[in-house]
Amino acid sequence: MSFNKRFITKDSLLLAASSGLDYLINYVTKPDALIIESDGVSQKVCDILSSNLNKKEIKLKLKEIGFYEFE
């Protein structure tokens, strides 16, 4: 078993979001460690996705911060 880390940027999050909310959630929550770009938005998105909110609440919070609007 290996240690998985992921570099998180706003662009990488937007790309993951284009594949759907489930993919975005897994993109952020599955690695063992995240290295998050200090652009503000990336940290907020990761905080929202790591919280114990349901998918409807996650969509609303992401829309509130102006990140991405899921259908």
Are the C-beta atoms of 42 and 10 separated by less than 8 Å? yes
DSSP β-ladder status, 33-36 and 5-8 = parallel
| pTM confidence score | 0.91
Are the C-beta atoms of 58 and 24 separated by less than 8 Å? no
Q: How far apart are CA 71 and CA 66, in angstroms?
A: 14
CB atoms inside a 10 Å sphere around CB 48: 20
- Written as tens digits, the pLDDT of the chain (71 aa) is 789 999 999 999 999 999 999 999 999 999 999 999 998 899 999 999 999 999 999 999 999 999 998 87
CB atoms inside a 10 Å sphere around CB 62: 21
